Amino acid sequence: MRIMGIDPGTGTTGYGLVEKQGNRLIHLDNGAIFTRSDEELPRRLQTIHASLAQVIADYAPQAVAVEQIFVARNALSALKLGHARGVALLAAVQAGLPVFEYTALQVKSAVVGYGRAEKGQVQQMVRLLLALPEIAQEDAADALAVAICHAHSHNLTDRLRQAAVAGGRRS
Amino acid sequence: MRIMGIDPGTGTTGYGLVEKQGNRLIHLDNGAIFTRSDEELPRRLQTIHASLAQVIADYAPQAVAVEQIFVARNALSALKLGHARGVALLAAVQAGLPVFEYTALQVKSAVVGYGRAEKGQVQQMVRLLLALPEIAQEDAADALAVAICHAHSHNLTDRLRQAAVAGGRRS
């Protein structure tokens, strides 16, 4: 199971790819797409969309995970974030990939085991879980975090399904 | 000069096409793209993006005009709007079209001649200016309004440029 996490933003969009093999979680790649602040918004969105489409084509993930947003500092920052998030979701669905959304609480709980963990703790745990010496870019680390969250949730869903099937067999 | 106006929204996206021939403004088409509320957001964004790309391919406009957003009811509605707006801008830039943004004040001033005009007045003036018996969809009317605004602004820019050239010739 190959999972791509995306942390979209008009300035910087982080992405991370992990492969789940049984109970092992293997790091494949992570990186960030930067757009120039002196470029017009439509052009920046095109860069984000085209770059994500390229990463998807290169790694052929089977699922995309993104953080679900409930709050934003203000309406204007929410609007900007929405633009980037919109083209990121589009790149995923155009590649025929299912998109899974997780709240910040779910991501923190899955990665650190504590829903109110600090951002720094999450990033350190991402490094440890994937045995990476360092993660160059903060948004890439956040993207890996949501990918790990999906790997764990998916794992849980699998186990619940297996339990249900086993229960079905028993009855 | 063929102009496409877009009024994006995750539920309904209005579009309108006008052709500017000298001082005449000719209506080409208008319509709305509806997405199903029971569908997931990525799929809805795909519908909006693909439909707008199709309209652009069908009518080959030379410019796209959208309303510039400064305020939204709240951060969540701004985020939703941002998603739809992001894929709309993407469809335009992918077709190589320049995107022009106008504030609500500019649109109202251009269409009604009064920046604080009511929504209903704007839509009625759009009908009159384009000699349409009716416009079925409110978002389509708003899209035509921003297209008309661009036609007028462009006109003004042209005249200023001509004046500058004439001035240059005189000196």
Q: Does A79 touch chain B (CB under 8 A)?
A: yes
List chain B domain ranges: 2-170
3-class DSSP state of A77:
helix
d(CA B48, CA A129): 39
- The pLDDT value given to residue B73: 73
Q: Is B153 exposed, middle or buried (0-12, 13-18, 19+ CB in 10 A)?
A: middle
Q: Does B71 touch chain A (CB under 8 A)?
A: yes
pTM for the full model? 0.88
- The pLDDT value given to residue B81: 93
- The pLDDT value given to residue B170: 46
**ipTM for the assembly:** 0.86
Distances in Å between the Cα of A168 and the Cα atoms of A158, A162, A165, B73 are 15, 10, 5, 49
Instruction: Give the residues of chain B that fall short of pLDDT 70.
Output: 71-72, 154-171
- The pLDDT value given to residue B164: 64
Question: For B31-170, where are the alpha helices, taking DSSP H only?
Answer: 41-59, 75-94, 104-112, 119-129, 138-170
Arch. (CATH architecture) of B2-170: 2-Layer Sandwich (3.30)
- The pLDDT value given to residue A64: 98
Q: Does B84 touch chain A (CB under 8 A)?
A: yes
d(CA B15, CA B17): 7
The partner residue sitting opposite A82, judged by closest CB among B40, B80, B93, is: B80
Q: Positive or negative, the Cα torsion across B57, B61, B63, B67?
A: negative
Interface subset of B 130-159, CB within 8 angstroms of A: none
Instruction: Give the residues of chain A that fall short of pLDDT 70.
Output: 71-72, 154-171
Cross-chain residue pair B94–A69, CB shorter than 8 Å:
no
